[in-house]
Amino acid sequence: MAIKKKERAVCEVSCDHPETVSLAKKELIPARQAQQAAELFKALGDATRVKMLRALAKRELCVCDIAAVIKMSQSAVSHQLRVLRGARLVKYRKEGKRAWYSINDRHVAALLLQGIEHVRHA
């Protein structure tokens, strides 16, 4: 039985493509934006938070409702909502003693739905 070599993702020949390298460098985002994007994806890197965002994608919900939807305690939901607020993925408004949460803007909803669609497609 032949043993397969692990395929490595490296160029086997050393060469330069100055025009494409130059174009790619021009398209790079500033370091601060790259860090912010990484933090955004880190906040999205938790299944519970993704479920919460999905629940909020079409409607505003209070903490009690979110807890009931994802079957978690209100304190656990509040903790996750703090992370989502910190990443500017959700916003809230107070109404008496209740806090109502919703998706921060259409970009968040689009990002979430694109991710879900990508997973379903694969």
| 9 part of a folded domain | no
> Hey, CA dihedral for 78, 80, 84, 86, is it positive or negative?
positive
Q: What is the mean pLDDT of the chain?
A: 91
Beta bridge partners of residue 95, listed in sequence order: 98
- Residues 78-98, mean pLDDT to the nearest whole number: 95
| 11 part of a folded domain | no
> Hey, CA dihedral for 121, 108, 60, 99, is it positive or negative?
positive
pLDDT at 5 (0 to 100):
63
- Residues 45-52, mean pLDDT to the nearest whole number: 97
Cα 62 from Cα 94, distance rounded (Å)? 10
* Residue 1 pLDDT exceeds 60: no
| 70 part of a folded domain | yes
Q: What is the pLDDT of residues 54-81, one digit of tens each?
A: 999 999 999 999 999 999 999 999 999 9
Read off the pTM. 0.80
Domain count, the chain: 1
54 is in which domain, residue-wise?
Answer: 32-121
pLDDT at 45 (0 to 100):
95
Percent with pLDDT over 90 in the chain: 81
Cα 91 from Cα 80, distance rounded (Å)? 13
Beta bridge partners of residue 103, listed in sequence order: 90
* Residue 11 pLDDT exceeds 80: no
* Residue 6 pLDDT exceeds 80: no
Instruction: Supply the CATH number for residue 96's domain.
Output: 1.10.10.10
| 18 part of a folded domain | no
